[in-house]
Structure 1
């Protein structure tokens, strides 16, 4: 390498010093936007303590619901709404900004919850679930985007983990409400959460990245100064963001050319496969119907309290995952997560085999009543440590820049489609082939996913975009001339 090239490389690798930035405003902004994640989590967790028994007895707004016909739809209409919103929200974020796109989601949140509060028919419940799903799905795309664009590199990982963490907090919040109140009261309280988000988040700035993309340099500078403080050289980072935007434009490759590359094809295969294994491992069957699972298991512990235990486990495990994901790497956590999910599913399936097929006495069944609680708790813990957050993270790291935006939206849509299939047909499947066989199927899929990860998915920890693309192409990665954003000198 020539001295000129070496100097160029050193300039790229050397970390610029813009002064001491305040981190508190960034934490406040991230936590503010993630109040929307809590709102989305309440939509996911609303069904946790609603069982077929509740529906048959008219606990849902005194509506007599046919549990065999309507139960699956009540859970799955939310996922349909989320699925249909993944692509439009991306366009909306680019059209009116990340901030106002999220504030706009308060409207469908409010309308959806009002329909469920005053519902006098299953049609109104279905409509409310669908509309709150639209709002919840929009946050799965917009909130992580906002957080990634307002955070410094040093704390981007921590702030990025808040979305998944507060999503689980929202699920737990709905579980607790469901255990102590009627579904109608739960809906009333949950309807307040997005309004609280609007009040808290309204005062936060738009992302400097979006403002610079729209040519609003003065507003971008003001926003970054709010996020970094007055003792920080915002002009230096503003220029760095501008250079990154310009560099990304100059490196733009047509979709047709991109799909000729092995790296593009392999990254898409990995991305969509991980979404498949995530959903068909059975996670949404557990999240949406955890109360029903414990009722079917006839455990001595109330299904409402068992549901809360599961929610607490999920929050704690997601918090731990945020601390270890950059230390241990993506691949090993995925392998451990998927393998233990399979084993937990097998334990749960064996319990239902022994109980439902009357292979042991009722007294012996009561003696092992702790098994479904233990299995579900372990399942939730390992899912939250690996297969919950990592498929989204690793997909973003694998996809080449020229297809990342479109492919990410399609992957999110695909994920919610799979979630709809699982939540809608879980009840039908358990009725048709029994609960134990259903969880055996989930476990086999998780085992296949484990093998797929071992042999196909690369480790992305500590690698630049260029190195990852070279590895996917089957080339030897070359660290020379690559900066920390994956651009070559």
Structure 2
């Protein structure tokens, strides 16, 4: 009897492992798009310093430099809002294919760029792909409940891998060669999309049940009960369709009567301000420029050691120009080190988020971020007034501390809350709107950063960021709710209360009490709500909805 049980368990484990592999392979285009996001975000950080060199391929001004760094955020808000209807019309898989095309076009334009105007066009195209790739619902719709969390974190972590890779290439090549190499990533992602199955939820919403079942067998194996899953998805889609009838327009017309909409929106806006002032965004966009200036007077390397010389087309007559103004090798190494710590922070968050409360993680994150900003400000100030190399290294250590600690909450919690706090039937609209406002703030912070540095120095700019976070810290303490273990369907009850204080924050036991009574559940059997949620998609509006499995 025991042997039979062991055989059954071994077979089930083997089937589960095969299902994991199938799902992972289906996610390869999403992983590559995340890599593209990281490479494109980091690329401008090395592109602009190289173009500001005395003997660059073409010159750019400081104003043009700031536009190159920030311009990819200009179209992103509009595309984010349109992404839901786009996915509904063409499907999640086709939206991934669509996201690859602007990336490909952007790299091609960058390769042949002869002036800053072509770089502007390339960055606008990058912003379109950023919006489409970050709002895709493909991964959420094909992953099982057990694999959704770990795989989503894995996908996001490849952004850090992409940025680290670009900085490593910066040690060896000029930006033109890096563009040629990176072109292969979105091309490969596009080719792989023709090998993956379409989302079963999308197919069922379009009355293509037979194709949906074939898709599920490809994703989960031939032993998966596709018929039962199909019925469950159909029922959920019908329930949502009936429940939402005409409700969205009512939200908009009577917004003052819907605190479950405007309160979380305001909370996420404040979280977004903290996110923008954490220093992580400007470090990602200007890391090479920042550490090139920090290490500029350090005698760390011989004057003949310059990054990217082997790919330079400069003549011997221009050699003197190179020696006078070339990006420091240690600036690229700093980018690599910071990218590694950013990746480590993401991995650490993935291991701790399920075991710890989100408010606790956020408090640790914002307090640590403030400390990191103040330390970076101090060390960069000392470096400006002292030629000792130690202050340059301490500035790098402080920057690594910042990018690690912001990953624990300040950087990630706004994105997490935007998918949790809003009512299910307008979640896509609210999430897209908050994403749009966030990208507009990102555009401003990146565009204004050089002006802040010119007017108040690098140390003063980061001191300002630290002061802003310090002011926001007590405000966030009182308004940020604890959502760990709270069912999404019950989240709106908290925001309908008159005030927001410690006693009124969502309490899992209180919120679950009514549900337990109705379903005759034992009080000691309550689990983390995230383990009891089955994900389905409202393809009628292109957004994601969690349906509680009772």
- Check whether the contact 2:294–2:380 (CA below 8 A) recurs between aligned residues: yes
Q: How many Å separate the matches in 2 of 1:323 and 1:265?
A: 32
The reply to whether residue 265 of structure 1 matches residue 293 of structure 2 is: no
CA distance in 2, matches of 1:255, 1:334: 34
- Provide closer, same or farther for how the CA distance between residues 468 and 109 of structure 1 changes in structure 2, counting only shifts above 3 A: same
Is contact 1:56–1:65 with CA below 8 Å preserved after alignment? Answer: no
Of 466, 469, 480 in structure 1, the residue corresponding to residue 514 of structure 2 is 480
The residue aligned with 1:140 is 134
Greater shift in the superposed pair: 475-484 or 453-462: 475-484
- 1:445 is aligned, of 463, 468, 487, to 468
Q: Deviations over 1:394-442 (max 9, x none)?
A: 2211111122111111111111111111111111111022212211121
Alpha-carbon contact 1:255-1:403 (below 8 Å) kept? no
Give distance in 1, aligned partners of 2:267 and 2:211: 39
Question: Which of 322, 327, 340 is matched with 1:312 structurally?
Answer: 340
1:173-252 matches, cutoff 5 A? 173-252=165-244
SS at match of 2:407: helix
Residue in structure 2 matching 1:330, options 342, 358, 372: 358
Mapped contact 1:40–1:137 kept (Cα < 8 A): no
1:343 aligns with 2:371: yes
Counterparts of 1:147 and 1:467 in 2: how far apart (Å)?
A: 25
Q: SS of the residue aligned with 1:108? A: helix
Residue in structure 2 matched with residue 72 of structure 1 by the alignment: 66
SS of residue in 2 equivalent to 1:230: coil
Count of residues in Structure 1 that have an aligned counterpart in Structure 2: 462
The range that moved more, 21-30 or 425-434, is 21-30
Of 286, 290, 298, which residue of structure 2 is paired with 1:289?
A: 286
Distance between the aligned counterparts of 1:128 and 1:23, measured in 2? Answer: 36
Distance 1:245 1:449 in 2: 40
What's the secondary structure of 2:485's corresponding residue? coil
Pair 124,375 (structure 1): closer, same or farther in 2 beyond 3 Å:
same
Q: Is residue 469 of structure 1 aligned with residue 461 of structure 2?
A: no
Give the C-alpha shift of residue 304 in structure 1. 0.9
Partner SS state of residue 180, structure 1: coil
- TM-score normalised by length of structure 2: 0.79
* Larger Rg belongs to: 2
SS of 1:444 mapped into structure 2: helix
1:90-109 Cα offsets, whole Å, 9 max, x none, are: 22111101111111222211
Question: Which segments of 5 or more consecutive residues in structure 2 lack a partner in the other structure?
Answer: 1-11, 301-328, 498-503, 505-509, 517-531, 534-545
Cα deviation, residue 54, structure 1: 4.5
1:457 corresponds to which residue? 480
Tell me, yes or no, if the aligned pair for 1:168 and 1:314 is still in contact at 8 Å: yes
Structure 2 CA distance, aligned partners of 1:447 and 1:455? Answer: 14
Contact 1:30 1:147 in 2 (8 A): yes
State whether residues 164 and 389 of structure 1, in contact with CA within 8 Å, keep that contact through their aligned partners in structure 2.
Answer: no
1:90 and 1:108 map into 2 onto residues whose CA distance is: 18
Q: Which runs of 4+ in 1 moved over 6 A?
A: none
Q: State the distance in 2 between where 1:201 and 1:405 align.
A: 24
Counterpart-to-counterpart distance in 2, 1:107 and 1:293: 32
Secondary structure at the aligned position of 2:74 is classed as helix
CA distance in 2, matches of 1:239, 1:25: 22
Unmatched segments (≥5 aa) in structure 1: 1-16
Match of 2:403 among 369, 380, 383: 380
Pick closer, same or farther for the CA change 1:221–1:375 going to 2, 3 Å: same
CA shift for structure 1 position 185: 0.7
TM-score by length of 1: 0.89
In 2, the alpha carbon distance for the partners of 1:449 and 1:255 equals: 33
Provide the secondary structure at the position in 1 that maps to 2:481.
coil
RMSD between aligned alpha carbons?
2.3
